[in-house]
Amino acid sequence: MGGRGASSGISDKGKVYGSEYSTLLKSENIKFVKYNDSKSAKTPQETMTKGRVYVTVNDSGDLKAITYYDKSGKRTKQIDISGKPHKIDGKWVLPHSHYGYFHDEKGTFKPSKSDNDIIDKVIQLWNNKRKR
C-alpha cells in the first residue's frame, strides 16, 4: 500500500494516481512532466511504467531534472540540470547527479558521459518542442 496510492490508486490525501503531474512531451521512454500542485518543480519519486525516464519542467518552462527508476518503480538516480549547484571536489557543479531514492542519499557526483549524453538529448527534444 502506501500514501501514494500504490494499492488503491488513491493516496491518503485523496489524490488519484497520475494526477500530480501533467505530461508536456513524450519521446520514446522519456516523458517531460510538470508538477501540478505548486510552482516548485518536484520530481516524481516513483513510477508504474518500467524503463520510464522523467524530465521535470518548472513553472517557467525550464528543465529542472532527469530521473531514473529501478525495476520496482522507485527513483534511483536524479540528474539536476538547473537549480542549486552542489560542491564536488571543492568546486560548485551544475549539472550534477544524485543516486538513491532520496535527494543526495548516496552523494553528489559530476555528470558521467552517459549523463551528459542524456542531458544533451533532453535539451534538444525540449528545444525542438518549444520551436513548434
pLDDT tens, per residue, the chain with 132 residues: 334 444 556 666 666 766 789 999 999 999 999 998 877 788 999 998 998 999 999 999 999 999 999 999 999 999 999 999 999 999 999 999 999 998 878 889 999 999 999 999 999 999 998 886
Q: How many CB atoms lie within 10 A of CB 10?
A: 13
> So what's the pLDDT on residue 17?
67
Q: Are 59 and 33 in contact (CB under 8 A)?
A: no
Strand-pair category, 108-109 with 30-35:
unpaired
d(Cα 12, Cα 99) in Å, to the nearest integer? Answer: 27
> So what's the pLDDT on residue 72?
93
Torsion angles phi and psi, residue 118, rounded to 5: -70, -35
> So what's the pLDDT on residue 26?
97
> So what's the pLDDT on residue 16?
72
> So what's the pLDDT on residue 123?
97
